[in-house]
Amino acid sequence: MPDQKQPDQKQEESFRVIDRRPFTAEGELRHEVVEQEEREAQREAVRPLNPPAAAADQAAIPPPPPVDAPKRSPAFENLVRMLGSNAAMVLGAYADPRTGQPMIDPDAARELIDMLDALHEKTHGNLAPEEDNLLLDLLGKLKMTYLEVNQAVAAQAQAAAQPKAKTRP
């Protein structure tokens, strides 16, 4: 009789957990995030604006960016990263040196996120594509983290209020 696998036998499944948070516990940007941003920026710089229509066009060199296109500013990128690091800090990415506990201040985080939103709105159309992507990615990650922290704080407050309600007559 040929060797057949039983249909009810499952192959051992495995999974891998990947930490995709942009900041380390110390609040610094992860090395992988910086490398990925650089790779994406290089791909964006190399990729032509219009996809080639024929295989012969694939060898064509993409046109240079317009002369009036905004150029990258390291100072602007540092400003965005600084505001992002501060927001991450008050969202629990840093531990308070005195207590060793994460510092969580949702109001301060909301203020910093609002500053980044205003910066994005006011600089619309004046940013290099890499700067715009950096700002949008950071805003998205910070907003998601903000929501997660607020949900955790609300759940903790609700859990703390429940035992008090039960002890009252």
Q: What pLDDT does residue 128 have?
A: 92
Q: What is the pLDDT of residues 145-165, one digit of tens each?
A: 999 999 988 898 888 888 665
User: Does residue 39 fall inside a structural domain?
Assistant: yes
- Asked if residue 2 belongs to a domain, the reply is no
Q: What pLDDT was estimated at residue 49?
A: 54
The answer to whether position 12 is within a domain reads no
Within-domain flag for 54: yes
Residue 135 burial (CB count, 10 A): 22
Model-wide pTM > 0.85: no
| Amino acid type, 128 | A
Q: What is the DSSP string of 6-30?
A: -TTPPPPP--------SB-TTSPBP
Residue 40 is assigned to a structural domain of this protein: yes
pLDDT attached to residue 14: 73
Number of domains in the chain: 1
In a domain, 5, yes or no: no
Residue-wise DSSP of 85-118: HHHHHHEEEEE-TTT-SEEE-HHHHHHHHHHHHH
Residue 18 within any structural domain of the chain: no
Q: pLDDT by residue for the chain (169 residues), tens digit each?
A: 555 555 555 556 676 766 667 777 676 777 777 777 777 777 776 665 555 555 455 555 655 656 677 889 999 999 999 999 999 999 998 888 888 888 889 999 999 999 999 999 999 989 999 999 999 999 999 999 999 999 988 898 888 888 665 555 5
User: Is 58 within a domain?
Assistant: yes
What is the model's pLDDT at position 37?
Answer: 76
What is the domain range of residue 134?
Answer: 31-167
Predicted pLDDT of residue 108: 94
At 48 the pLDDT is 55
